[in-house]
Structure 1
């Protein structure tokens, strides 16, 4: 069958008011015509064509992520590119200093707070720290799930290559980590 998604009805969830992708263009970006396209540009054009075929949209307009009105207003201005000095000062009050990182993440309110970061590597480090803190708190040993990578349907035999692939940052592996620590 030559229909998007094999003719199967699909439901998509997303936030069209998200910040633009880091070092990339959003799907709605119009690309200039070129005589030759690279693989990424072709993928983007295919995705745009599929998205343009969506025929029903339900827009949820009640924000449910934060009850902090001041912070929500800050995020709205940030999204619109209209941040203020006061916004910057508010964000500075939420920065965790490196010496206090371990202690702060174990204490309220930081132990339950969403944390915004600019780099995937920092996000991964913070998530790993949360797993370790939870393991210490519960007295349960963390379990580390290790990715099983294949090349042409064959497991990787070369230990150096396997180690290098496992240690790639997850923004290079479609956000699939090589190592995923968990507390059962």
Structure 2
């Protein structure tokens, strides 16, 4: 029973499931996965039968689809939020880069990688030495990028926001999370500089899926991380376009300027979070709400409110010299409360 509970806790903290070579799986297996995940991710308040499909996890399927026609992408676009068809197979491309990749794969399969291979691999890593990624390139501005750490995700999201704001000639609204250190219940306080720095480096999954810094640009797409109304398709992973933000009369704003492509980009920072923001949620299904504006296409906008969540993090007392030593170093435990809009940039996601 204890093992089952720990297994359930593990899956309740997991938000992405990647299935490779999915064309080898039968529909019956997907149904079993769906039933089991709904069971594992059910809470006392929400029974398994009331859980969204796959326990509201984001399912990423990848694989070769040899018999794509005659249905084409229509079936997949009906069933999934996002479908990406890669028509340019690097393993079979007879170009210099394609042949280089084929030779690398052959050495990799036979455990014969060279120093040159490792140096070449580093150029494929975002932020690595000699990284080939240019965030001013439109193809990178529109591509979702998976990274392992928030310390890389936040700068990437900001670079993407600056490039988008420069291109659209629009200002950036910067929303900074309201964090409180509640480790000592009788004495709530703002996080120390060291704790604040550590918060900037941990995954959003550990912070209630709410980012430390959120850059909003009008008419840009984002992802919701809340389950405010799953029956209306307003849930975790929903794509949404930002339109407007509403602040209290007491809010103050400061204006800053960044330079992109030799042109100024305005960055607006508020002293407090918006009361709510209006988003055009892609698949939302609800009637117009009194007092809520419509999108340019005439679709009712959805108000999204800040969420508050508590979480616990552990910080080692010193930097370990090796992975083995890390387990032996004492850790300081902190309880924190974060208030932030349940929205993340779709340009850089943390695994």
Q: TM-score when scaled to structure 1? A: 0.46
Does 1 or 2 have the higher relative contact order (CA < 8 Å, sep 6+)? 2
Larger Rg: 2
Q: TM-score when scaled to structure 2? A: 0.28
**Where is the helix percentage greater, Structure 1 or Structure 2?**
1
